[in-house]
Structure 1
Amino acid sequence: MRPADRLLATLEALRAAARCGDFAALGRLTARVAADLAATEAATPPPAQLAAMKASAAEVAVLLQAAERGLAAARRRLAEIERLRSGPVTYGGDGRPQNLAGTTPALRRV
């Protein structure tokens, strides 16, 4: 397989991994993209293949950015859930958050 074809196949695999959330494969494929890119640069592919690689790489970049935003949102949500586990929080007269756990009797359902 020619280096440019191998790079296109690796970019496609990276795109598929990003779309289905296979984060374990992303690191491995990213390393392969770097190696395939170096081999492709040495082979000087035709302009049509260069355009296909550029389009594929742009799509992969958008997908990876979306995955990064999704992971950041998941981390924020998990941190929020962890904060809620420590009990209800309110703000004191000084404007700082204060944990209500242990300061009032347990709330009962009425």
Structure 2
Amino acid sequence: MGLFKKKRAVFIENAGGVIITKSIYQGTSKLKWFFREESVNPSDNGWRAIGDNDTQEYLNNPENSMVVDFNTLANIEPAVLSVYDMPVGTDLEFCFNDTGRYFVDTNTGNRIK
């Protein structure tokens, strides 16, 4: 890294871990799918993030996923802060276009405000 690291903001104290693909972390893909599963580990908040370039083959390789603090993901894509408190079973698609950045509930098709 270098002598100077970009300081990452902490938005939510003790937010827990989230599993994301390395492509999101490395910036080679953007957040596309965001869903919440039941977690058996208290340090895991259940959120999972998949990038727009992630193929099924890529996802099948466990080495392409990593656990990061939720705040790390929020520094990459701040929109996740707006859905942090949604319940287990939430399944969202992240959209970004000329109308803005927002989530769509994949079960209902409704835009999340």
TM over 0.5: no
The TM-score normalised by the length of structure 1 is: 0.23
- Greater relative contact order (Cα 8 A, min sep 6): structure 1 or 2? 2
The structure where helix makes up a greater share of residues is 1
Larger Rg: 1
Bigger proportion of residues as strand: 2
